Amino acid sequence: MSTLQSKFDDWPEPVEVLNDGGRSDIVLICEHASNHIPECFDGLGLEDIELERHIAWDIGAESVSRSLSALLDAPCFIGKYSRLLIDLNRPIESATSIPVRSEATDVPGNVHLSPGDRQLRIDRIFTPFQAAVSAHLDRREKDRRPTKIVAIHSFTPVFLGEARPWDAGILFDKSAEFGVDLIDRLKRVTGLNIGANVPYVIERTSDYAIPVHGEDRGLDAVLVEIRQDLIGSADGQARWADHLFRSLT
Ligand SMILES: [Zn+2]
How remote is the C-alpha of 41 from its chain's centroid? Answer: 22
User: What would the mean pLDDT of 123-133 be, rounded to a whole number?
Assistant: 98
If you measure from the C-alpha of residue 169 to the centroid of ligand 1, how many angstroms do you get, rounded to a whole number? 12
Q: pTM of the entire structure?
A: 0.96
User: What would the mean pLDDT of 84-104 be, rounded to a whole number?
Assistant: 96
If you measure from the C-alpha of residue 51 to the centroid of ligand 1, how many angstroms do you get, rounded to a whole number? 15
- What rounded mean pLDDT belongs to the chain? 96
Candidates 247, 249, 240, 248; CA nearest to 65 is: 240
If you measure from the C-alpha of residue 56 to the centroid of ligand 1, how many angstroms do you get, rounded to a whole number? 10
In this prediction, residue 153 carries a pLDDT of 98
What does the pLDDT look like over 3-32, one tens digit per residue? 556 678 899 999 999 999 999 999 999 999
If you measure from the C-alpha of residue 55 to the centroid of ligand 1, how many angstroms do you get, rounded to a whole number? 9
If you measure from the C-alpha of residue 172 to the centroid of ligand 1, how many angstroms do you get, rounded to a whole number? 14
In this prediction, residue 3 carries a pLDDT of 57
In this prediction, residue 2 carries a pLDDT of 52
In this prediction, residue 8 carries a pLDDT of 81
Which residues, by Cβ under 5 Å, contact ligand 1, an ion? 32, 58, 153
What stretches of the chain show up as alpha helix (H) in DSSP?
A: 3-7, 48-52, 61-72, 115-121, 127-142, 176-190, 234-248
In this prediction, residue 105 carries a pLDDT of 93
Please state the domain extents for the chain.
4-248
If you measure from the C-alpha of residue 88 to the centroid of ligand 1, how many angstroms do you get, rounded to a whole number? 9
**Would you put residue 106 in left (φ > 0), alpha (ψ -120 to 50) or beta?**
beta
For residue 199, say if its preceding peptide bond is cis, omega within 30 degrees of 0: yes
Candidate from 4-13, 41-50, 87-96, 178-187 with smallest mean pLDDT: 4-13
Q: What's the order of all strands across the beta sheet hosting 76-79?
A: 15-18, 76-79, 26-30, 148-155, 220-227, 168-171, 194-196
Percent of the chain with pLDDT over 90: 95
If you measure from the C-alpha of residue 153 to the centroid of ligand 1, how many angstroms do you get, rounded to a whole number? 4
In this prediction, residue 101 carries a pLDDT of 95
In this prediction, residue 4 carries a pLDDT of 59
User: What would the mean pLDDT of 47-61 be, rounded to a whole number?
Assistant: 95
Q: Domain 4-248: which topology?
A: Aminopeptidase (3.40.630)
What does the pLDDT look like over 203-225, one tens digit per residue? 999 999 999 999 999 999 999 99
What does the pLDDT look like over 140-196, one tens digit per residue? 999 999 999 999 999 999 998 999 999 999 999 999 999 999 999 999 999 999 999
If you measure from the C-alpha of residue 63 to the centroid of ligand 1, how many angstroms do you get, rounded to a whole number? 14
